[in-house]
C-alpha cells in the first residue's frame, strides 16, 4: 500500500461523542473519543451490552451524526452512508424479491455500472465467497451462513474502503460461525480492506483481529486498546483455528474478558 493510499484511507476520530436526545431525556452513548484506525487493520470492538459499540459503528457508517467532534476518512468528512463504507448487519438484509446475484449487482446497478460489467463483478464476488453456484437462488433458499456470505459479497462488490460489521455471525451456529470467521480472514487478506467488527465474543475478537478495543459501560469510552499478535502470525497468511488452543491466545482472551467484566462493575 502506498503512503498516499494509506493516508487516504486512515480513519481519524477526534473528540467524537454521541448523545441521543429523546422525549424522556438524554442518553450519552459515546463519551468524547479519539481514535486512529490504520488502513488494512482488522479492529474489533467489544464491551458490555449498551456500551455504544453499534453507535460507534453507525457513526463510522455515516448513519448517525456525532454530537461533537470529527471523523474523516482520509481527507473526506463522513457526511452520510456511502458504498465506500460497506455495512454487514447481524440480520440478513438481502432483498427477498431479487436473486442472490441480483442482490450483489444491486449496488453497482444503482451507481449506473453497465450490465455486463456489473454481472462480471457479481460473479467474481460470488465466487470469492463460495456462492458461485447459488447466484440464481432467492435469499430464502439459502442457509443463514450463506445469506451472510451473500451480504459480504454485496458489500465487497462496491470495492469499499472500509467494511463495518455489526455482530455479523451472532445468529449462526458455532460450526458455521467458525467456518465464516476463517473465510472472512481469507477475504480480508485478499481484498486488503480495513474492517471494523463489533462482537460480543472475546474469542471471536481475538481470533479475527489485529487490534481489539474494549469499551466501558455507558457512557461508552475506550478503556483498552490492544494489538493482537498470535503465534505463527504471518502478514500474508491466514490464522488457523488451531491457534485458539495456544497459551498466548488463552492469555489474551482472559485479559480482555477481565477488562470487560471490570467495565461492567
Among 55, 147, 151, 199, binds ligand ATP (CB under 6 A): 55
Neighbours of 45 (CB within 10 A): 24
- Judged by beta carbon, residue 59 or residue 157, the one nearer ligand ATP is 59
* DSSP-derived 3-state class of residue 16: strand
Could you tell me how many residues of this chain bind ligand ATP (CB under 6 A)?
Answer: 13
Buried b / exposed e across 139-178, counting CB within 10 Å, b at 16+?
Answer: beebebbbbbbbbbbbbbbbebbbbbbbbbbeebeeebbb
Give the shortest CB-93-to-ligand ATP separation in angstroms.
Answer: 17
Give the shortest CB-52-to-ligand ATP separation in angstroms.
Answer: 4
Q: How far apart are CA 181 and CA 199, in angstroms?
A: 12
Q: How far apart are CA 79 and CA 138, in angstroms?
A: 33
Q: Please choose, out of 49-57, 105-113, 141-149, 181-189, the segment that lies near ligand ATP by the rule CB under 6 A.
A: 49-57
Q: How far apart are CA 261 and CA 98, in angstroms?
A: 44
90-119 binders of ligand ATP (CB under 6 A): none
* DSSP-derived 3-state class of residue 113: coil
Give the shortest CB-124-to-ligand ATP separation in angstroms.
Answer: 33
Give the shortest CB-256-to-ligand ATP separation in angstroms.
Answer: 15
Among 17, 33, 44, 54, binds ligand ATP (CB under 6 A): 54
Is residue 216 near ligand ATP by the rule CB under 6 A?
no
Give the shortest CB-50-to-ligand ATP separation in angstroms.
Answer: 4
Residue 81 grid coordinates: 452512508
Binding site for ligand ATP (CB under 6 A): 20, 22, 27, 29, 47, 49-55, 218
Amino acid at each position: 500500500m502506498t503512503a498516499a493510499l494509506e493516508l487516504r484511507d486512515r480513519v481519524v476520530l477526534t473528540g467524537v461523542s454521541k448523545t441521543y436526545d429523546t422525549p424522556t431525556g438524554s442518553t450519552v452513548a459515546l463519551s468524547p473519543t479519539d481514535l486512529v484506525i490504520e488502513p488494512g487493520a482488522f479492529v474489533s470492538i467489544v464491551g458490555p451490552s449498551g456500551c455504544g459499540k453499534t453507535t460507534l459503528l453507525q457513526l463510522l457508517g455515516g448513519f448517525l451524526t456525532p454530537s461533537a467532534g470529527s471523523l474523516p476518512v482520509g481527507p473526506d468528512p463522513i457526511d452520510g452512508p456511502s458504498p465506500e463504507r460497506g455495512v454487514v448487519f447481524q440480520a440478513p438484509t438481502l432483498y427477498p424479491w431479487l436473486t442472490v446475484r441480483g442482490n450483489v449487482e444491486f449496488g453497482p446497478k444503482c451507481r449506473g455500472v453497465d450490465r455486463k460489467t456489473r454481472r462480471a463483478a457479481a460473479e467474481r464476488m460470488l465466487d470469492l465467497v463460495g456462492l458461485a453456484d447459488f447466484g440464481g437462488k432467492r435469499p430464502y433458499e439459502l442457509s443463514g451462513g450463506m445469506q451472510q456470505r451473500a451480504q459480504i459479497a454485496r458489500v465487497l462488490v462496491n470495492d469499499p474502503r472500509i467494511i463495518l460489521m455489526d455482530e455479523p455471525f451472532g445468529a449462526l451456529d458455532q460450526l458455521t460461525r467458525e467456518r465464516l470467521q476463517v473465510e472472512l480472514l481469507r477475504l480480508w487478506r485478499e481484498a486488503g480492506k480495513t474492517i471494523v467488527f463489533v462482537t460480543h465474543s472475546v474469542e471471536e475478537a481475538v481470533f479475527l483481529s489485529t487490534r481489539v478495543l474494549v469499551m466501558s459501560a455507558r457512557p461508552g469510552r475506550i478503556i483498552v486498546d490492544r494489538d493482537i499478535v498470535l503465534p505463527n502470525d504471518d502478514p500474508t497468511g491466514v490464522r488457523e483455528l488451531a491457534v485458539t488452543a495456544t497459551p498466548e491466545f488463552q492469555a489474551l482472551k482472559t485479559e480482555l474478558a477481565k477488562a470487560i467484566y471490570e467495565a461492567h462493575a
